[in-house]
Amino acid sequence: MDAPQKKIAVVTGAGSGIGRSVALALAGAGWSLALAGRRLAALEETAAAAGSAEVLCVPADVSDPAEVAALFGAVRERYGRLDLLFNNAGTFGPAGVALEDISYEAWRSVVDVNLTGAFLCAQAAFRQMKEQDPQGGRIINNGSISAQVPRPNSVAYTATKHAVTGLTKSLSLDGRPYGIACGQIDIGNAATEMTERMQTGILQANGSLAVEPVMAADDVARTVLHMASLPLSANIQFTTVLATNMPYIGRG
């Protein structure tokens, strides 16, 4: 009997936070990895923490079509196939800026990373999964609970994360003939660099400032690993993982 084929995953935004935690969880489960992010040194730190796992580090700006093409070309050359894309790279944009004061440049930078970047990576992964033999694979998008409800002064981030939900649905539908599954994880208050200000006080819907509970990024990673470990005949379409006591239910 042939040995089971090693699974190959691309993780974007893998140099820190949720991306790093997910990469390490996949490595611990025996996956081979391609880590993408803007900072090579941060990617190499993740790779070093992955122990004996096979890891390819590819510096890439997901908003740049040429760099995305180079990323997936490197994956194809190194591994020959792709089983999973964790589409994670994202940016919140300027914090605490009122809607009417957001510059076009600031709006565009969030859209370019969170939406266009997610599309470019998904498109490249989809193309590879469709063409490879055996055909198929899985894409997991990081949606955020801002794909469901907004925070004050977060119009760019919220709009792009709502759009990611549409991307997830379209990928799921268009992937059916090719064995390509797509799901989305909406995350609330994982303890990362992006959420540090929640632990010192963050603006609430009623205008007050409040410290919000957070959860470990490893709790998110375990959920992504479960999603990734399912056979392609099964899919977790949407799931929400959040700090139990954060102000989400009844946020407004």
Give pLDDT, residue 60. 98
- Rounded CA-CA distance 236/249 in Å is 22
φ, ψ (nearest 5 deg) of residue 5: -70, 135
Query: Mean of the per-residue pLDDT values for the chain?
Result: 93
Residues 49 and 20 sit within 8 Å (Cβ to Cβ): yes
- Rounded average pLDDT over 158-172: 98
Which of 228, 238, 194, 233 has its CA nearest to residue 214? 194
Asked whether residue 252 is domain-assigned, the answer is: no
Q: Does the residue 85 lie in any domain?
A: yes
Q: So what's the pLDDT on residue 4?
A: 57
φ, ψ dihedrals at 184, nearest 5°: -140, 135
157 is catalytic: yes
**pLDDT score at 2:** 46
**Is pLDDT at 249 greater than 80 in this prediction?**
no
Q: How far, in Å, CA of 26 to CA of 32, rounded?
A: 8
Helical (H) or strand (E) element with 139:
strand 137-142
Q: Is the Cβ–Cβ distance between 117 and 63 less than 8 Å?
A: yes
Angle between helices 155-175 and 118-131 (to 10 degrees): 10
Q: For position 3, what pLDDT does the model report? A: 46
Instruction: Give the type of residue at 38.
Output: R
* Tokens coding 78: 């190194």
Model pLDDT, residue 234: 98
Fill in the DSSP letter of residue 211: -
Which is more confident, 201 or 23? 23
Question: pLDDT value at position 1?
Answer: 39
For 85-135, write each residue's pLDDT tens digit. Answer: 999 999 998 887 889 999 999 999 999 999 999 999 999 999 999 999 999
Q: What is the pLDDT of residue 216?
A: 93
Q: Is 123 inside any structural domain?
A: yes
Task: Tell me how far apart the alpha carbons of residues 69 and 231 are, in angstroms, rounded to a whole number.
Answer: 27
The pLDDT value given to residue 251: 59
58 in a domain, yes or no?
A: yes
Q: Is the residue at 151 inside a domain?
A: yes
Considering the chain, what percentage of its residues have pLDDT values greater than 70? 96
State which residues form the domain around 18.
8-242
What predicted TM-score, i.e. pTM, was given to this entire model? Answer: 0.93
pLDDT on residue 104? 96
Q: How far apart are CA 11 and CA 190, in angstroms?
A: 17
Q: Report if residue 236 sits inside a domain.
A: yes
Q: Is residue 233 situated within a structural domain?
A: yes
132 vs 115: CA distance, rounded Å: 26
Instruction: Report the CATH number at residue 94.
Output: 3.40.50.720
How high is the pLDDT of residue 207? 83
Average of per-residue pLDDT across 197-225: 87
Rounded (5°) CA angle 119-9-93 = 40
Looking at the chain, the whole-number percentage of residues with pLDDT higher than 90 is 78
Question: Tokens standing for 58?
Answer: 């590819």
Kindly write down the DSSP assignment for every residue of 184-205, as one continuous string.
EEEEE-BSSGGGGGGGT-EE-T
Overall average pLDDT of the 187-197 stretch? 80
Q: Calculate the dihedral angle through the C-alpha atoms of 60, 5, 183, 136, rounding to the nearest 10 degrees.
A: 90
Residue 131 confidence (pLDDT): 98
Average pLDDT over residues 246-251: 76
| The pLDDT value given to residue 197 | 72
Tell me the mean pLDDT in the region 47-59: 97
Q: Per the residue annotation, which of 79, 104, 157, 178 is the catalytic one? A: 157
Task: Please check whether residue 132 lies inside any domain of the structure.
Answer: yes
Domain count, the chain: 1
